[in-house]
Structure 1
């Protein structure tokens, strides 16, 4: 229960931060990605703030034996760049640019009851299910690793 409550609090705080930063507005995302057109650099401040907070708190938090809201640390150990990582990153970036929403923002934006975030969210779920189906049939993970 303690872990779920902690996750809820952190998730709500994150959602509020997304809303305040303007990242829930697709026009801001598309403007940020349009570096050769009407570039909107304001999300650089959001990114700088997030990286700064993470840089400071990560060093402090990692001094603990266990996380506050979990029994174990979940730290990635792989460091190599694989074809799966590159392909997945490209698909993520293209989807983000076309839809104006990254996966986290699309979930948060569902609270707006607008159609666009719902379409993006359903597309993300469909893409995950499609990959799972294709992976079972063609063993894609092992071919991409």
Structure 2
């Protein structure tokens, strides 16, 4: 990846909806080489997709919690089951496996505390292999969806 690829990535992170013509102008390339570079970045998995950023609160999702999950076992089967379960829960918007303790950091967004409690009681707390879940409520987001610096 060279400096032009990094400029393309920076531009697309700022505005993923811009036309290839506009992108080419901004990175000072002609359209064909710019398009070839974008397609190569997509093919190589550097660009993983395009999406709209949504403000959860303005979309009616008023409740956000961070869960710190410690596993009772860390064998491959148990971790795979937990990760599969996390992937199947739509309200989980981020889930990272961590070094050290806790084992996982999970971000959950729901409409309300009541919806979160139901989700927690019926789907999250019953996942096999979980030893402990500590959670905290998010007061407000200070930084989110920041572009990755190249």
TM-score scaled by structure 1? 0.24
Return the index of the structure with the highest Cα Rg: 2
Q: State the structure with bigger RCO (CA 8 A, min sep 6), 1 or 2.
A: 2
Higher strand proportion, which one?
2
Higher helix proportion, which one?
1
TM-score scaled by structure 2? 0.24
